[in-house]
Amino acid sequence: MRLMIIGQLEGYIGSAGKIALQRGAKVIHCEDIVEGVGALRSGKGADVVMIDVKLKVAEFIKNLDAERIHIPVVACGIGTDTPSAVKAIEAGAKEYVPLPPDSDLIAAILEAVTQENSTMIANDPSMKQVMALADKVAPSDATVLITGESGTGKEVMSRYIHEKSKRGGETFIAVNCAAIPENLLESELFGHEKGAFTGAQGRRIGKFEEASNGTLLLDEVSEMHPQLQAKLLRAIQEKEITRIGSNSPVKVNVRIIATSNRDLEKSVEKGEFREDLYFRLNVMNIQLPPLRDRPSDIVPLAKLFSDRFAEENGLEAKPISKEGETKLKAYQWRGNVRELENTMHRAILMSSEAEIEADAIHLSESEFSGGKSAAPAAQAPDPAAVSSATSEPKETAPAEKPSDNQGAVEGLVGRSLADVEREMILNTLDNCLGNRTHAAKILGISIRTLRNKLNQYKEDGSPIPSSAVGGS
């Protein structure tokens, strides 16, 4: 992970940078926003920027937008300066970090913003086969396509392949093709020349050049616009790119790894993805199994996450109870490893016993094997309800179901379809903790469609939940 720190922060800059270095980050320091923007233009890239809240944060973010530089910004300042923190967040900063720096807080913020986690657990036989293939593929320069459901760890696998390759000591750069708006992605990948468009104050080096001699990950490449797919195909075939506003090609030496949670062959059949690009990317294919198909890894992963979140929240690490383990293994994990991670974060916070009890592990009842929770019920059933259920003939049960949801249906009457759709999208995002990829899958729409809907709601002045802003 690469961190850029902008500003002096009254001597705390060294402490913050040291903490980041201890956490494995590469740190770049810039005196002011002009130097910061210049460094980003010239290819001294960063995965996240920490900026002194006393500097012109709004102007810095405005410059990034004008230059089509897509990067998360975290504001930081001495103590709890609430007005400045609010102002920075309103300007577009993702978070505010008070100083003097707290190591756990900075680590948590950096990980949350960059979503970086390189831990690989593969004890299950199905994953051991996958790891054996990855180990064979890694030393080569072959393009790799990693496929699998959302949340299965495709980026973690990408980093593993990079670290095991001969390029392991070089730069690894990930570009989320689903999270970056279409009008910014081309500049993000290929860069631009001064004056190429309004706001282009200088030459900007793109990710292809930035990843020179290293690895470039195209995360969720299936979400890329078809017009940009053609330019990507040429870059991979010719091993050269052309910056926006230039006619001079630039040779690049990068290894390409792409990921997708879609069936790309079906996307090709539907005309949503170029067939020639698919064949270029699919030199080697690694299919990651869903978490439900690797049961031996569920508890070790859960323990890894619970220990990590205990440390980050200043809590004592706890073992998982036998009942808790049974509950975890019985669940279907539609959201895969990412859902397990969020579940254990909640569990370590909710647990009140010496071991993480089953009741602290909050899961949807409908996603258990057989449709029922493997853990004991938290409360005894209502005797009146049991009496009613047992005395009623079974054949009459289906007739009673509509009345259970009658109020919900009546609540939709008189409302426009667009209004209902907006509420459904925002509620789903909120339930997914702002994770756009997971929400889009549940809603049955593409990431691009979801992003466009959110932009539309924002322009219309509709309130967007904080969890939905800046989600992945």
Q: Which has more confidence, 430 or 263?
A: 263
pLDDT digit string, tens, across residues 373-424: 444 444 444 444 333 333 443 333 334 334 333 444 445 555 677 777 888 8
Q: What is the mean pLDDT of residues 448-458?
A: 81
d(CA 71, CA 3): 11
Q: Pairing between strand 95-99 and 2-6?
A: unpaired
pLDDT digit string, tens, across residues 229-261: 999 999 999 999 999 999 999 999 999 999 999
CATH architecture of 418-472: Orthogonal Bundle (1.10)
Q: pLDDT band at residue 141, thresholds of 50, 70 and 90? A: very high
Task: Report in angstroms the alpha-carbon separations of 447 from 40, 82, 435.
Answer: 27, 34, 11
Predicted local distance difference test score (pLDDT) of residue 113: 56
Do the beta carbons of residue 1 and residue 110 sit within 8 Å? yes
Residue 393: count of CB within 10 angstroms of its CB? 6
The pair of structure tokens assigned to 248 is 């001079």
Q: Which has more confidence, 284 or 69?
A: 284
Q: Which has more confidence, 79 or 196?
A: 196
Predicted local distance difference test score (pLDDT) of residue 384: 41
Ordered by start, the domain boundaries in the chain are: 2-114, 125-289, 293-371, 418-472
Looking at 70-74, 330-334, 356-360, which range is the least confident one?
Answer: 70-74
Predicted local distance difference test score (pLDDT) of residue 24: 66
SS3 state of residue 145: strand
Predicted local distance difference test score (pLDDT) of residue 440: 78
Q: Which has more confidence, 151 or 119?
A: 151
* Mean per-residue pLDDT over the chain, rounded: 82
Threshold 0.95, pTM exceeds: no
In sequence order, what E strands does 227-278 have?
240-241, 250-251, 255-260
SS3 state of residue 181: coil
Q: pLDDT band at residue 116, thresholds of 50, 70 and 90? A: low
Q: pLDDT band at residue 14, thresholds of 50, 70 and 90? A: low
Domain pair 293-371 / 418-472, same fold: no
Query: Is the pLDDT reported for residue 201 higher than 80?
Result: yes
d(CA 41, CA 20): 23
Place of tokens 């102002």: 87
CATH architecture of 293-371: Orthogonal Bundle (1.10)
Predicted local distance difference test score (pLDDT) of residue 407: 41
Query: Is the pLDDT reported for residue 281 higher than 60?
Result: yes
d(CA 424, CA 434): 14
Render the burial of 46-80: b for 16+ CB within 10 Å, e for the rest: bbbbbbbbbbebeebbebbeebbbbbbbbbbbbee
- 88 Cβ partners below 8 Å, 6+ apart? 53, 57, 58, 75, 96
State the DSSP H helix or E strand holding residue 423, giving kind and residue range, or none if neither: helix 417-431
> DSSP letter string over 54-114?
TS-HHHHHHHHHHTT----EEEEEES--HHHHHHHHHHT-SEEEEESPPHHHHHHHHHHHH
What number of residues does the chain have?
472
Q: Which CATH superfamily does the domain covering 125-289 fall into? A: P-loop containing nucleotide triphosphate hydrolases (3.40.50.300)
Q: Which fold has domain 2-114?
A: Rossmann fold (3.40.50)
- 461 Cβ partners below 8 Å, 6+ apart? none
